[in-house]
A and B are shown apart, each in its own frame.
Chain A
Amino acid sequence: MILFPKKYLKEITNAAEDSDKIILATDPDREGEAIAWHVKEVLEKKKLLKDKNLERVVFNEITKKAILDAIKNPRQIHLPLVEAYLARRALDYLVGFNISPILWTKLPGSKSAGRVQSVALKLITEREKEIELFKPDEYWTLTSDFTNKNNKNIFSKLSLFNGKKIEKFSFKNKEEIQKAVDVINKTKFKISDVNTKVFRRNPLAPFTTSTLQQTASGRFGFGASRTMQIAQRLYQGVDIEGETTGLITYMRTDGTNISKEAIDNFRKFITDDYGDKYLPDAPNNYTGKKAKNAQEAHEAIRPTNITRKPSDIKKYVNSDQFKLYELIWSRALSSQMTPAEFDRNTIIISSNDNKINFRASGSVVKFDGFLKVYQVQETDEDAKNILPEVKVGEEISILKLNDEQHFTDPPPRYSEASLVKKMEELGIGRPSTYASIISVLSTRNYVELINKRFNPTDRGKLISAFLEKLFSKYVDYNFTADLENQLDEITSGKIEWVQVLDNFWKDFYENVGKVKEKRTREVLDLLNESLGALIFERDDKDAIDRKCKLCASGELSLKNSFRGGAFIGCSNYPECKFTRPLSKAKAAAQYNLAEPKLLGQNEKGKDIFLKNGRFGPYLQFEKETDELETKKKKGRKKKNENDHLKNVSIPKGIDVDSVDLDKAKYLCSLPKVLGQHPDNGQDIILNSGRFGPYLKCENKSARLENVEDLFSIGINRAITLIAEAKPGRISSSLIKDLGEHPEDKKPVRIMKGQYGPYIKYKSLNATIPEEKDPNDLTMEEALILIEKRKEYDKTKKKGKRK
Chain B
Amino acid sequence: MNLVIVESPAKAKTINKYLGKDYLVLASYGHIRDLPSKNGSVDPENKFQMEWEIDSFSKKIFKRNYKCC
Contact = CB atoms under 8 A, between A and B. Distances in A.
Interface of A: 1-5, 8-9, 11-12, 15-16, 18-27, 32, 34-36, 38-39, 41-42, 62, 64, 67-68, 71, 86, 89-90, 93-94, 97, 236-237, 244, 246, 497-498, 501-502, 505, 509, 742, 755, 766-772, 779-781, 783-785, 788-789, 792, 796
A26 B4 CA distance: 9
Given A42-B32, A94-B42, A780-B8, 16 more contacts: A5-B55, A21-B2, A21-B3, A32-B7, A39-B28, A41-B33, A42-B33, A42-B54, A93-B37, A97-B42, A505-B44, A509-B44, A755-B68, A780-B10, A783-B29, A792-B61
B14 A19 contact: no
Nearest to B1: A19
Contacts of B48: 86, 90, 497-498, 501-502, 505
Q: How large is the interface on B (under 10, 10 to 19, 20 to 34, 35 or more residues)?
A: 35 or more
Interface in B24-61: 24-33, 35, 37, 39, 41-42, 44, 47-48, 50, 52, 54-55, 57-61
A444 to B, nearest CB: 15
Contacts of A15: 1, 3, 24, 26
A244 B14 contact: yes
Contact of A26 (B7, B13, B41, B60): B7
B5 A1 contact: no
28 contacts: A1-B62, A5-B58, A8-B32, A9-B32, A19-B3, A22-B4, A23-B5, A25-B5, A25-B6, A34-B31, A35-B7, A64-B18, A67-B18, A71-B19, A89-B42, A97-B37, A244-B10, A244-B17, A767-B68, A768-B61, A769-B60, A769-B64, A771-B37, A780-B10, A783-B29, A788-B58, A789-B61, A792-B65
Listed residue (B1, B17, B29) with the most chain A CB atoms within 10 angstroms of its CB: B29
B5 A780 contact: no
Nearest to B3: A19
B5 A3 contact: no
B3 A796 contact: no
Interface of B: 1-11, 13-15, 17-19, 23-33, 35, 37, 39, 41-42, 44, 47-48, 50, 52, 54-55, 57-62, 64-65, 68-69
Contact of B5 (A36, A67, A71, A783): A36
Contacts, number: 178
Contacts of A93: 35, 37, 41-42
A246 B31 CA distance: 23
A117 B39 CA distance: 22
A211 B1 CA distance: 42
A1 B62 CA distance: 9
Contacts of A497: 48
Contacts of B37: 93, 97, 771
Contacts of A19: 1-3, 24
A64 B1 CA distance: 20
A783 B7 CA distance: 13
A246 B11 CA distance: 10
Given A20-B1, A501-B44, A3 B8 contact: no
B41 A35 contact: no
A41 B31 CA distance: 12
A41 B6 CA distance: 15
Nearest to A3: B54
Contacts of A90: 42, 48, 50
A215 to B, nearest CB: 26
Contact of B31 (A21, A35, A772): A35
Nearest to B11: A236
B18 A68 contact: yes
Contact of A25 (B15, B44, B54): B15
A23 B1 CA distance: 11
Contacts of B8: 236, 780
A693 B49 CA distance: 52
Given A5-B58, A769-B61, A780 B1 contact: no
B1 A18 contact: yes
Nearest to A21: B2
A237 B32 CA distance: 23
A18 B24 CA distance: 11
B10 to A, nearest CB: 5
A770 to B, nearest CB: 7
Given A5-B55, A86-B50, A246-B14, A742 B9 contact: yes
Contact of B29 (A1, A509, A769, A784): A784
B30 A35 contact: yes
Contacts of B2: 19-23
A497 B35 CA distance: 17
Closest 10 CB pairs of A and B: A19-B3, A4-B58, A244-B14, A5-B55, A769-B60, A23-B4, A780-B8, A21-B2, A64-B18, A67-B18
B54 A9 contact: yes
Between B13, B19, B23, B48, the greatest number of chain A beta carbons within 10 A of the residue's beta carbon is seen for B48
A359 to B, nearest CB: 58
A780 B7 contact: yes
B32 A23 contact: no
A497 B27 CA distance: 29
A94 B35 CA distance: 11
Contact of A3 (B13, B18, B58, B69): B58
A628 B27 CA distance: 62
Contacts of A12: 3, 5, 26, 28
A32 B60 CA distance: 24
A3 B55 contact: yes
B65 to A, nearest CB: 6
Nearest to A783: B9
